[in-house]
Amino acid sequence: MNKYIFSLFVIVIFQTTKAQNHTFTKQDSLRGSITPERAWWDLTYYHLDISVDPSTKSIKGKNSVHYKVLEPDSVLQIDLQAPLIITKVTQNDKELEVRTDGNAHFITLKNDQKKGSLQSLDVYYEGQPQEAKRAPWDGGFSWKKDDNGNDFIATSCQGLGASVWWPNKDHMYDEVDSMLISVRIPKALMEVSNGQLRRIEDHKDGTKTYNWFVNSPINNYGVNVNIGDYVHFSEDYKGEKGLLKMDYYVLKDNLEKAKKQFKDAPRMMEAFEHWFGPYPFYEDGYKLVEVPYLGMEHQSSVTYGNGYENGYLGRDLSGTGWGLKFDFIIIHESAHEWFANNITYKDMADMWIHESFTAYAESLFLEYFYGKKAGAEYVIGTRQGIQNDAPIIGPYNVNQPGSGDMYYKGANILHTLRQWINDDEQWRQILRGLNKTFYHQTVTTEQIENYISKTSGIDLSAFFDQYLRSTMIPNLEYEIKDQQLKYRWTNSVDKFEMPVQVVMGEKELWLYPKKDWSLTLINVGDLRVSSDFYVTSKRL
Ligand SMILES: [Zn+2]
């Protein structure tokens, strides 16, 4: 493998591979499991209301947490990471006792929590939030300056968790139905968060507050604050659900470059509405927001820092040339609007639901504009980044992802599955059906696997066990003797069966290998497995 390209892959998957060989602590369980102090209440709404002071790199404010009582209880868990501190928690103006265990804060409620009732509490907090070491992978607050010396500030927190900068129920299974984000900043700058801008309030002290309202369920890591010397331009997109406002916020100096490069945004929308169905957040609009790091799939405000170049920082991850036909960050991060923001994993172990479909989406974008061969060449090209170091599905309940193979092995699993289904329109309807069936939901891998099995009419349980839960790549072992072909699957899990397309001489045909030998007569000297299948083969 090209060492240079390999190092790029390492960058892409860094966050996910470092998680291997980890011993888990009580803190991991408090963060990664649905603890009893989380389970009894269901989030309905957050109002995050903070001021950001670039001169001291500090934030201060409160989050109002609204919830419905599922089962009466009196202790509730809120997460917030040091060095930020909770200064006060109140419910109905009564100050409440807080017991802290690392990043988990257990609040004892005084009021009766009647089943079915709607309640809220205000969590006040302040401090200097953790500074991002390597955004977006090792996130937090990025306090940067633009070329003109203006503050250029952004948050990123996938994996680490939103509790690195604001107090919340920091587990993916539960999402609010809507959210208001109010951010007070120095007057000279502009602030962009998720959803639609409701109003800007001016204050006498040289600050102003931006109020952004998110009309849809949103996952915690999707919430973001971006502050800079921005200029704004927009366009109306005629999509499957009508008119969609597409807004762009970029640094003043980059306006001309952005007007050119962001032409990929409506192209993206056209391709992905075709493959995945309507953009899932028409009410919240779609935004691309420039940030001082590579980018992230923040819901309805996708962040962008790819240098106004095609490829991944100007490079093609597939090594085929096709990766230079699009801006990697616009295409990849926006595909997450369907797989990550619309359909969201409940547990980070199932992060393939986000990254495999999204890495695969890169090839579907190419297919839409450049044909089926282009998409196939791209996805096959990305195999050079596959490590097979650990299973794609990670350990549950400890907030840990599986192998970084969730990106390009994941993409190739889906490409392989499409060959098996062997009906492009049915395959597209499965992708669209996933987005319709699990619209604005958090899901488990079993829900996704079962949906694809059910709608394709194929029992795919061994297929998913093979590719998601083991590191074995199925091997087609075969022998040709006296015009007889003997073949079977090796290096495979129990009950693994998958048809595979092979080329013999001039002819393409299907074999149906099982774990036991099958036999057929042929009149050619050798065969070749179609490269669309992510398998190996060995002639005995
Ligand atoms: Zn991604």
SS (H, E, C) 379-407: HHHHHHHCCCCCCCCCCCCCCCCCCHHHC
Kindly report the backbone phi and psi dihedral angles of residue 101, in degrees, each rounded to the nearest multiple of 5, phi listed first: -130, 90
Cα-to-centroid distance, 491 and ligand 1 (Å): 29
Sign of CA dihedral 312, 318, 321, 323: negative
Dist. CA 293 → ligand 1 center (Å): 14
Return d(Cα 497, Cα 513) in angstroms, integer: 7
Q: How far is the CA of 407 from the centre of ligand 1 (A)?
A: 8
pLDDT at site 17: 41
Q: How far is the CA of 429 from the centre of ligand 1 (A)?
A: 23
DSSP label at residue 301: S
pLDDT at 19: 45
Q: Which helix (H) or strand (E) holds 131?
A: none
CA of 125 to the centre of ligand 1 (A): 31
Q: Which helix (DSSP H) or strand (DSSP E) does residue 225 occupy? A: none
Q: Report whether 319 contacts 381 (CB < 8 A).
A: yes
- The residues with which 507 forms a beta bridge, in sequence order, are 504
Neighbours of 422 (CB within 10 A): 11
Distance 240 CA to ligand 1 centre (A): 24
Q: Cα of 104 to ligand 1 centre, how many Å?
A: 27
- Alpha-carbon distance of 411 to 442, in angstroms, equals 21
Quote the pLDDT of residue 526. Answer: 87
Determine the straight-line distance between the first and last CA of the chain, rounded to whole angstroms.
26
Q: What is the pTM of this model?
A: 0.95
The span from the CA of 242 to the CA of 21, in Å, is 48
Structure tokens at 257: 């470059």
Q: Tell me how far the alpha carbon of residue 405 lies from the centroid of ligand 1, in angstroms.
A: 12
- Distance from the CA of 341 to the center of ligand 1, in angstroms? 11
User: What are the two backbone dihedrals, phi and then psi, of residue 256, each rounded to the nearest 5 degrees?
Assistant: -65, -45
Q: Any bridge partners for residue 260, and if so which?
A: none
Q: What confidence score (pLDDT) does residue 21 get? A: 57
Please state the φ and ψ torsions of residue 348, each to the nearest 5 degrees. -60, -20
Q: How far is the CA of 330 from the centre of ligand 1 (A)?
A: 11
One-letter amino acid of 274: H
* CA gap 456, 450 in Å, rounded: 10
For residue 527, report the distance from its CA to the centre of ligand 1, in Å: 37
Q: Measure the CA–CA gap between 307 and 292, rounded to whole angstroms.
A: 10
Q: Residue 229 corresponds to which amino acid?
A: D
SS3 category, 18? coil
> What's the gap in Å between 336 CA and the centre of ligand 1?
7
3-state secondary structure of 502: strand
Please say whether the beta carbons of 298 and 222 come within 8 A.
yes
Q: 204: CA distance to ligand 1 center in Å? A: 42
User: Nearest-5° angle of CA 403, CA 165, CA 312?
Assistant: 45
Residue 90 CB-density burial (10 A; 0-12 exposed, 13-18 middle, 19+ buried): middle
Local confidence pLDDT in tens for the 540 residues of the chain = 333 343 444 444 444 444 455 789 999 999 999 999 999 999 999 999 999 999 999 999 999 999 999 999 999 999 999 999 999 999 999 999 999 999 999 999 999 999 999 999 999 999 999 999 999 999 999 999 999 999 999 999 999 999 999 999 999 999 999 999 999 999 999 999 999 999 999 999 999 999 999 999 999 999 999 999 999 999 999 999 999 999 999 999 999 999 999 999 999 999 999 999 999 999 999 999 999 999 999 999 999 999 999 999 999 999 999 999 999 999 999 999 999 999 999 999 999 999 999 999 999 999 999 999 999 999 999 999 999 999 999 999 999 999 999 999 999 999 999 999 999 999 999 999 999 999 999 999 999 999 999 999 999 999 999 999 999 999 999 999 998 999 999 999 999 999 999 998 888 999 999 999 999 988 888 899 999 999 999 999
Structure tokens, 431: 């992708």
Residues contacting residue 123 through CB under 8 Å, at least 6 positions apart:
62, 63, 64, 65, 78, 80, 86, 89, 167
* 333 CA distance to ligand 1 middle (Å): 6
How far away, in angstroms, is 295 Cα from ligand 1 center? 9
**pLDDT score, position 3:** 37
Amino acid at position 492, single letter: S
Q: Give per-residue burial for 492-528: e unless 16+ CB within 10 Å, then b.
A: bbeebebebbbebeeeeeebebeeeeeeeebeeeebe
The burial class, CB within 10 Å (0-12 / 13-18 / 19+), for 339 is buried
Q: Tell which residue, 66, 123, 113, 60, has the closest CA to residue 89.
A: 123
